[in-house]
Structures are given as C-alpha cells and as structure tokens.
Structure 1
Amino acid sequence: MATTAGDALLAYLAEQFAELRLQAPGVRKNQAEPIHKMRVAARRLRSLLASGRKLFENGAAEDLRSELRWLSGTLGPARDPRVVQSRLRELLAAEPDELVLGPAPARIDEELDAAADAGFKGAVAALDSKRYTQLLANFESWLNAGNLSEKASRPPRKTIRKLVARDERRLRRAVEGLPAEEDRPARDEGLHEVRKAAKRLRYSAELAASLGGGGGARKVRRTAKAARKIQTSLGQHQDSVVARTLLSELGARSLRSGENGFTYGRLHAKEEQLASDAEADFLRVWRKFATP
C-alpha cells in the first residue's frame, strides 16, 4: 500500500503505462478491442497527469501529456469509423425494405471502410515511428525519476480525494456553462466538453476508490459510477453528432450525383432522436448527481 499520494499516483500511472504497451501488438493486427484499450490507456495517463499536476514538479508532465494526446489522436481514426458504421448498420437493419432507397447502405460502408482502413494505416505508422519509441522511453524514464513536488509526500487518500474534488468542480463548471438548446452547434460542442470533464473525474475517482478508506471510498466510488454514466450517455450523443455529419455529407453528394438520398435523411432524423435521448439520459444522471 502506497504511503504517499505521489507513490499512489505513480503506481497507478505505471499500471496504465503497462496496459498501453500490452495492447500494441493487437493494434498492429487491426483488432478492435486492443485499439480501444490502448486509446483508453493513453487517455487515462494524460488525464491523470492533468488531475495530479500539483503533485509533480512544475511542468514536469506537460510534454508527456502532449505526446499522449498525439498518440490518442492517431488511434481514434482507426476505431471511430467502425463505431459509426456499427450504429448506422443497426439503424438500417431496423428499417423496412421499402424505406431503404438508393445506394445508401453501400455508400455508407464504402465511406467508413475507407476511413477505417486509412486510420489503421495511420495507427501502425505511429507505432512504427521514432516519436512513439521516444514517448515510451521518456515516459519510463519519467516514472523512474518521480519528478514529485512537496505536496506528493502527503497522505494518499485525503490528497487524491482533493484531486477528485477539483475535477468535480471542473465538471460542474462545464455543465453550468452549457449553451442554450436553441444554439445547437454550440450546445453539442459544450456537451462534448462536459463528456471530457466527466472522463477526467471518472479516472481520478477510480484511482481514489482503489485506495480504500471506508465512507470516503464509498463516496468516490459513487462519483466514479456517476461520471461513467455521464461519459456513456454523452459518448452516444457525440457518436450521433459524427454520424449525422457523415449523413449530411453523403446526402449532399447524392443530390449532386442524382442518386436517391431519401435514406440519408431518414437516418439523420433517427440519429437526431437518438442524440436527444442521450442528452435526456445525461440530464437525468446529472440531476441525481448534482443534488445534495
């Protein structure tokens, strides 16, 4: 059991770093689950480096956060098109045959297959790069060096829970700052920022919960659970935003080429409803979480 907050945080970061490295072979084989897990590990590392910033020497983790952002960004295009493809295929499968008009299913698959293939090649190129090799070496050296501040020597449970409280305040500010529903593009972007804040809170709360500690541990477990629900609901919302952008683009192309674009519009309407449902789920979870 870690005796200081710094030791607790470094141990957790080391676990996530090992997970990131473990998933690389599966990414090279274009396996969906390793791509997802490696991206999550990169996000956890980057998020916890931000949450625990005060436990490190000034600026000690910023370069690593930047490189982890780059790595996560190279993995997203290898997975995100498949996520959108899966949800659109599900919607298409539920449609009556007479309402699936024109080449929409084939065009959707062509577009997303090409995007996923390009994303996979980009991910492999990233893993083959000197930049990735240097990231691994730098992170390992950084872990071994510690780079801890004076605050990192404090007791782990209380100190880590303070990080959680700071992340919770950040989430509350993001929710309070949401644009009105009438400004749909700005609100969609705001909900995406809320989701990112919820992920940060989830990761720090999960770290705090792993340290145990009676009633305090139960509280941070509840916080982590609520943050995960918010992340899930708003993840569905963001996937719908991406899917609708694609459908709008394909619909515009069909108009220019003289193809039947009816199905794109129908799917777009269904995605709008799914996004509305996801936002409503988020608001229900938020009201329960935010009420003392």
Structure 2
Amino acid sequence: MAQITASTGGNTAIQGEKVSGPWRDAWRTFRKNKIAMIGLIMIVLFVIIALLAPVIAPYDFKAQELGDRLKPPSSEHWFGTDDLGRDLFTRVLYGARISLWVGTFSVIGSIILGTILGILAGFYGKWIDMIISRLFDILLAFPSILLAIAIVAILGPSLQNALYAIAIVNIPTYGRLVRAKVLSLKNEEYITAARAIGMKNSGILLRHILPNSLTPIIVQGTLGIATAIIEAAALGFLGLGAQPPAPEWGKMLSDSRQFIATAPWTVVFPGISIMLTVLAFNLMGDGLRDALDPRMKN
C-alpha cells in the first residue's frame, strides 16, 4: 500500500509539473503584481476605447461648430470644445486609435528588423557583426527624436512617415539587445549538441536561438510602445506627424498651446491621455520584466 501510495503521489506530482511551465509561471507571477495588473487593465480599456470610438463618440471628430468654439466642459461637451468648435471628448477617443496604432506597429517594425540584424550579428560574427554593429552605432550617435525629425523631414510630414521614422530610430535598441542574447546562447551546450547531430544553422536559429531570445524582446517591446507614443506625440506637436484634421494627441496639444490660459481644458485632456497611456505600458512592462526575468524571482 505504501508503494502504491508513493507511486500515486509521484504521478500526482508529475501531473502537477505538466500543468506548470515557464510562461504559465510567468503569468502567475505577473498576476500577483497588482501594479502591473492595473497597467494591463488600463491598456485593455484604451484598446476598447480605440476600437469602439465610432460607437462611443457623440460627434464626428471633424465636425466644426464655430459658434461653440472654446466652450468649457459641460453635459453637452464632456471635455469642452477646441478653437474650431470640435468636441474634444470625441477627438480624444479617436486619438487613442492613432497613438496605439503608431506605437504598436512602429515597435513591431523595430522588433522585426532589429531581431533579424541582431541574430545575424551575434550568430555569424566576423565582418557581418562589424558592419551591423557600426550601423547601430551610427544610428545611436544621434538623439532619437532629432533623427526621427530628420527622417520625417526627408520623407515628408505624415502619420505614416512618422511611424517609419520611429521604427527606424528604435531598431538599434532591439538589435543590440538580441545580439547580446545570441552571443550568450550560441556557446551553450544544447547548441553544440544541435550542431553535433547535423542541424543546420537555420534550424538552430529558428528552434533554439530565437525562442530563447523572446523574453527580453517582449519586455523591451512593451516599454518601447510607451516611448513610441511619446515620440509620435512629439512629432505631431512639431507638425511632422498626423496632419489636420486627424485627432492626434500631440497635434491637439500643439494647436491648443495658445489657449493654455484662456481654455486650459484644450490642453489638459489630450495631455492626460498621453500620460495615462504611457504610464499603463510602463507599469505593464515593469511587471513583465519582473515575471520573465529569473533574476527578479525569489
């Protein structure tokens, strides 16, 4: 009976271990972090707002009523109106779409290009590493916002070109991160064993190197969305991002800066929207770092 009990207990333990896993454990750790969960909930809310903006918004974001210009917040216009009589609540809702779109897809582009270049540099080394690393050094030699301004000035002011510029200036961040990870992985014993059984380099990269490099990419990508949103707002503020009548938060701040004293609500609500969105991604990114980094676990 003792042996049967021991055997049964062992099977139970094994079954329990099957339920566990690195990603499941990371999710459990993440859920215990209340601040990170608050960030996740805020992001979900902003995504819902962005998706349902046409349903939630009480007005057309382009509709102008000059007779209602610069009206303070009221039951008719919850966030007030701007200098052209447009409903600020509606424009802030639609602005969430633009900011999340630019932030997400610019980071995805940076991750894809940066990961490819980082893997090539770290895995193959030699002259490939030298060329790619020098390219990263050149891009990092310029302040990111100045380089983004230069790229948009060359391509022309538009939201799409702002997205391209933000993606380009952030490539070195992910490329150097992946390169460092690959350098630490390619000499591991399981990589040596994979080479010994005749696995090709492409198989090693796709089945071993890339999956084990995902953790820092996910964490940096989450934090990078917050940075990209700020950069998009900065380009919009300078008139190099979204063009009128697009309701981009940075452009809204730029258009309303002359009314800070007389109509502060025209600046406050877009500014708060940028702050809350960036804060949410930073909170979630910190939580992901704590959950996915083994060094942060007790």
**Which TM-score tier does this pair reach, normalised by the shorter chain?**
0.3 to 0.5
Q: Which has the higher helix share?
A: 1
- For normalisation by structure 2, the TM-score amounts to 0.34
So what's the TM-score if we normalise by structure 1? Answer: 0.34
